[in-house]
Amino acid sequence: MSLSRVGIGYDIHRLKKGRPLWLGGIHIPFEKGLDGHSDADALLHAIIDALLGAAALPDIGHYFPPSDPAFKDLASLTMLAKAAGEVQRLGYRIVNIDSVVIAEAPKIAPYREAMRKTIARLLGIPVSDVQVKGKTNEGLGDIGQGHAIAAHAVVSLHAAHS
């Protein structure tokens, strides 16, 4: 087992009226939400894929296939807990998470600390080991036009018993 590993994750979802907006495990009041089979939390999905990738495990779709009705509207916090359990089962501990949410609206800054605390609490790591940044797409593409929100995440793991 390698002592240290790094994984990267990415996710994007369209915004849709009539759906609640979940990002970083928190509900954000907004006129649209992310469209997807689960609650479509793009930030948590990016973190999940980064965790799984760092441990050389299959991606989020393997564990939570969108074709399976059992996962319809599933909270992404539940998915994150499952992914973290898989990583810990292999003997890794999470060192840190760095992430960025790309959205024209809503602004991420007012929700950043709540997201960091929620993610850290669920994963059992210090808040200082979780970072969430917000960026716009400068009006470019579907994200820039306010049609979608995307997220990138990088996770560092360390062998727990080294």
| pLDDT tens figures, 6-16 | 999 999 999 99
Closest among 69, 24, 27, 79 to 49, alpha carbons compared: 79
| pLDDT tens figures, 128-140 | 999 999 999 999 9
Confidence check: pLDDT of 161 > 90:
no
Pairwise CA distance, residues 52 & 60, whole Å: 8
Confidence check: pLDDT of 162 > 60:
no
Mean pLDDT of the chain: 96
- Which residue(s) pair with 142 in the sheet? none
Pairing of strands 26-28, 21-23: antiparallel
- Which residue(s) pair with 148 in the sheet? 14
| pLDDT tens figures, 14-36 | 999 999 999 999 999 999 999 99
Pairwise CA distance, residues 50 & 46, whole Å: 6
| pLDDT tens figures, 51-73 | 999 999 999 999 999 889 888 88
pLDDT given at position 112: 98
Residues near 127 by Cβ (< 8 Å), separated by ≥ 6?
116, 117, 120
**What domains does the chain contain, in order, with CATH numbers?**
4-159 (3.30.1330.50)
Residue 81 burial class via C-beta count within 10 angstroms: exposed 0-12, middle 13-18, buried 19 and up: middle
Query: What proportion of the chain, given as a percentage, has pLDDT over 70?
Result: 98
Using CA atoms, how far residue 133 sits from 19, 27, 38, 110, in Å, is 23, 17, 23, 11
Q: What confidence category does residue 160 fall into, taking pLDDT thresholds of 50, 70 and 90?
A: confident
Helix residue ranges per DSSP H, 31-75: 42-54, 60-63
pLDDT given at position 125: 98
Residue labelled with tokens 């441990």: 55
